[in-house]
Structure 1
Amino acid sequence: MSTGISRRRFIGNVGAGAVLLGLGPTLLSACGDDDDSGDDTSTGGSGSGGGGDFGELGVQLSWIKNIEFAGLYIADSEGYFADEGFSSVNLIAGPGDAIAPLIQGQVLYSFLGSETWANAVLNDGAPIKIIGANFQENPFCILYLADNPLETPEDMVGKTIGVQTANEQIWQAFLRKNGLEEGSGAGQVNKVPVDFEPTPLENGEVDGFFSFITNEPNILRTKGLDVGTLNLQDNGITLYQQIYGVTEETLEGDRDKLVAAMRAESKGWQEAIANQELAIQLTLEEYGADLDLNPESQKLELEAQIELQQSDSTDENGLFYMSEEDIERNLSVLADLGLEVSADLYTNEILDEVYADGIDLRGS
């Protein structure tokens, strides 16, 4: 059984990783333990409702079929997508380019990273809007061992932090936001280059390790290590991730289809949060059955992910909902990264229809 390879190391090994966090040539969230099975089609039941009016639903995932997409597995397996009118579901596993399939109309929506999306909009003119955010909080953190804690950004002064080249941009934004300076002198934070495996932290070569809160911490926990995290979200770097990207054309012309798909997915995620055992079972035994996933790390990852998915905004308005305040915070961070996009590229209009009759879609 795999003990949990960093998904970002895997992406780096296949030549991706030029952008911080997102899809295709990027470093999106921390999950995967093993290679993708290569099977892009649904393995779940199609249900009996809906009549298939919308035909097949295509969704571009950001990574392999591990626990990160458990809500979709439940929505597929339990027939929620079928009940909404989809005849079949094609969950296309990553990593890979999630922008092109979207633009080419091969999928209804793609899971994207904020930086990847903003780069595509600004540099390639991609007509993509964001209709929701699965991760309400930025999953980046500085991972540390409990016997050498880094509980505040100031605690990094005089310490050595391992940072991947691909994460340099957001690392520098984190330092700027907290008034810290990089260097080896007094009052500075010493940075050293590392790969995406947390071995340097485990071996005591660094005091902190730039990480994804759902991944590397749990890799070390499954090895019996006591670890903690200094979360960037809590220290000025608000950034949505696992955002739902759709083309402007789809938003205008396939509104009913989008509402149906997002309603089914939200119901699937509500069930995954309430019934984590089912989410893990479907991941390990069906959708990710041939990935040799580590059950313990998948359980820990789901628990960490659920915390990222919920916020005051989702408690009030439903899963994936984006508050005006958080959108502004995201825009500020993106601008600091040199990616100035406008607020009108985010919209909750699809979610407003999804939750028109209430945010509890399970009827509990």
Structure 2
Amino acid sequence: MKKLLASTLLAGLMMTGAHAQDLEPLTFQLKWVNQGQFAGYLVAKDLGYYEEEGLDVTINPGGPDIAPEQVIAGGGADVITTWMAAALAARERGVALVNIAQPFQGSALQLVCSEESGVETTEDFPGKTLGVWFFGNEYPFYAWMAKLGYSTEGGDEGVEVLRQAFSADPLLQGQADCISTMRYNEYKQILDAGIPEDSLTVFNFLDEGVGMLEDGIYVLEEDLADEAFVDKMVRFVRASMRGWEHAKENPQEAAEIVLENDMSGALTLESQVYQVEEAAALVGDSAALDEAAYEQTVQTLLNAVSPDNPAITAEPEGAFSTVVTDQL
């Protein structure tokens, strides 16, 4: 009996090894750490959707010192997810990124102001300190300030820019009047700190006319000349959207999968259920890029006047392709 069990186990391992050899390796770089923002991809991997498409997908988490655009440029990933603002800026600087799919159709970027700030409308911004994320995330803010006609150099008629870390601490600790938040992340941190939601003033960048496409899927332009690579991306995107659909329908299960992949040990089930629900709400029925939203993003970027790092200076060409989503 022991010999039979050992033989059966060995046969199973050999079959598993043979199956793994048949899978095509693919490395996917996230924009940030493993969290509900990326639930669809983590679910697709955990439930075997990628394997069903013949893919062995490695999902690499991001972080404060990791720029997906630089990772793929250096050969560290085959495909990345990032905001379109950062992708187009990188493209103009020589990293030929192409958007091949756009799961996130909405925008979760907000500017949140405390009750103590006295900010109720955009007319109250002058003289205030506003927290801004950088590393390619600052472009919507600078486009907004340019649209409002406010200087970002401080003073009574302008705003003071605080280079904000990726947390809600500057608002909670009184270092800034308003801070950048994602609806599915830092905004929840503010509420969890005991600050009443009705005491906050919230500006959604999309509502302010400077919304930009967020988590899209990007590859290098040269790779799209390879039909085998394109086919691989079709299967990757199809499995990823399947993962998002499952996450949307089963937020608690998806949150549990996120927690299994949490490398920090700081996430909670309650916070991740919230984040999965908010992130999944941004995912459209299709992964196809909305060209009108693309054009709005481009025009917003062209109007983003950053003193240190202008976003783009000319209309991009070839920055998106439908070669993948046309086959879904």
TM-score range, shorter chain: 0.7 to 0.9
Does structure 1 residue 278 correspond to structure 2 residue 253? yes
Q: Where do residues 286-305 of structure 1 align in structure 2 (5 Å cutoff)?
A: 286-288=260-262, 291-305=265-279
5+ long unaligned stretches in structure 1: 1-46, 355-364
SS at match of 2:62: coil
* Counterparts of 1:292 and 1:210, CA distance in 2: 21
What amino acid is the match of 1:69? F
- Quickly say closer, same or farther: Cα 1:194–1:56, change in 2 above 3 A: closer
Q: CA deviation at 1:324?
A: 1.7
* Cα-to-partner distance string for 1:3-30 (whole Å, 9 max, x where unaligned): xxxxxxxxxxxxxxxxxxxxxxxxxxxx
SS at match of 1:211: strand
- Quickly say closer, same or farther: Cα 1:64–1:230, change in 2 above 3 A: same
What residue in structure 2 maps to residue 217 of structure 1?
187
Higher relative contact order (CA 8 A, sep 6+): 2
Which of the residues 162, 182, 194 maps onto 1:193? 162
* Counterparts of 1:194 and 1:256, CA distance in 2: 41
SS at match of 1:82: helix
5+ long unaligned stretches in structure 2: 1-15, 305-309
* Counterparts of 1:128 and 1:158, CA distance in 2: 37
Q: CA deviation at 1:119?
A: 2.7
What residue in structure 1 maps to residue 220 of structure 2?
247
* Cα-to-partner distance string for 1:169-223 (whole Å, 9 max, x where unaligned): 54332122234456543xx454353543434433555432233333221111112
Does structure 1 residue 352 correspond to structure 2 residue 326? yes
* Cα-to-partner distance string for 1:47-105 (whole Å, 9 max, x where unaligned): 99x9865522211112222222211121112111111112x221112232423543455
What residue in structure 2 maps to residue 110 of structure 1?
80
* Counterparts of 1:165 and 1:127, CA distance in 2: 24
- Quickly say closer, same or farther: Cα 1:144–1:293, change in 2 above 3 A: same
Does structure 1 residue 129 correspond to structure 2 residue 103? no
* Counterparts of 2:210 and 2:169, CA distance in 1: 26
Does structure 1 residue 342 correspond to structure 2 residue 322? no
- Quickly say closer, same or farther: Cα 1:327–1:165, change in 2 above 3 A: closer
- Give the conservation status (yes or no) of the 8 Å contact 1:54–1:257: no
Which of the residues 259, 275, 278 maps onto 2:234? 259
What residue in structure 1 maps to residue 243 of structure 2?
268
* Counterparts of 1:189 and 1:210, CA distance in 2: 18
What residue in structure 1 maps to residue 10 of structure 2?
none
| Max Rg structure | 2
* Counterparts of 1:149 and 1:265, CA distance in 2: 43
Greater displacement, 297-306 / 327-336? 297-306
